[in-house]
């Protein structure tokens, strides 16, 4: 005997959302937020908006503290099997920064066979590294912490940069740290 299911029931019971797909959705969300912050709203995404939608959107102007930052690149890493990464490289007039957003694949995997809701993944790990702009590009500070994906905004960038500066101050001359010899 053949059983006939409603299409909605079929989607619920038979469709399995792969963890990689869930992570891709979350990384897409983070990437969109970053592009908006750096005023690089995509002509690449080819998303067509209705005229009424574009009129209603308010353009968020970055603060003066954020305007000096320049986006160099935004890339996804596909090398790790257990983590998915989105790496933003940006700079100011003194330093280059690498900001990596990482989401663990286990967060998107179902533990009990039930479908995973993408909305349950609320946090990602953030690592920011500051490099000198000279030829040796040595690391001048590094911070790693967990943040909520919804809190990725201009304020988060400012807090990370402030925390990095407080933990690894740059006003001291590196030459002062050299070992004196007789």
pLDDT in tens, 73-109: 999 887 777 788 999 999 988 899 999 999 887 776 6
pLDDT in tens, 41-81: 433 444 444 444 544 444 445 555 567 788 889 998 877 77
Give residues with Cβ within 8 angstroms of 115, minimum separation 6: 12, 15, 16, 17
Closest to 90 (Cα-Cα) out of 106, 65, 73: 73
Full-prediction pTM beyond 0.85?
no
Residues in a beta bridge with 89: 73, 98
Domain ranges of the chain: 16-41+63-171
Interatomic CA distance for residues 24 and 101, integer angstroms: 12
């Amino acid at each position: 005997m053949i059983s006939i299911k409603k299409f909605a029931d079929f989607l619920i019971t038979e469709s399995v959302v792969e963890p990689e797909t869930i992570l891709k959705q979350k990384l897409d969300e983070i990437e969109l937020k970053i592009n908006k912050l750096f005023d690089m709203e995509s002509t690449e995404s080819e998303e067509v908006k209705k005229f009424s939608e574009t009129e209603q959107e308010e353009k968020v102007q970055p603060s003066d503290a954020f305007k000096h930052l320049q986006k160099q690149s935004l890339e996804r890493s596909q090398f790790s099997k257990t983590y998915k990464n989105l790496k933003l490289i940006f700079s100011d007039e003194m330093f280059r920064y690498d900001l990596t957003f990482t989401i663990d694949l286990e967060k998107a995997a179902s533990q009990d066979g039930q479908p995973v809701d993408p909305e349950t993944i609320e946090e990602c790990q953030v690592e920011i590294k500051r490099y000198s702009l000279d030829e040796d590009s040595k690391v001048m500070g590094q911070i790693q912490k967990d943040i909520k994906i919804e809190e990725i905004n201009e304020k988060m960038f400012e807090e990370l940069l402030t925390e990095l500066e407080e933990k690894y101050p740059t006003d001291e001359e590196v030459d002062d740290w050299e070992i004196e010899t007789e």
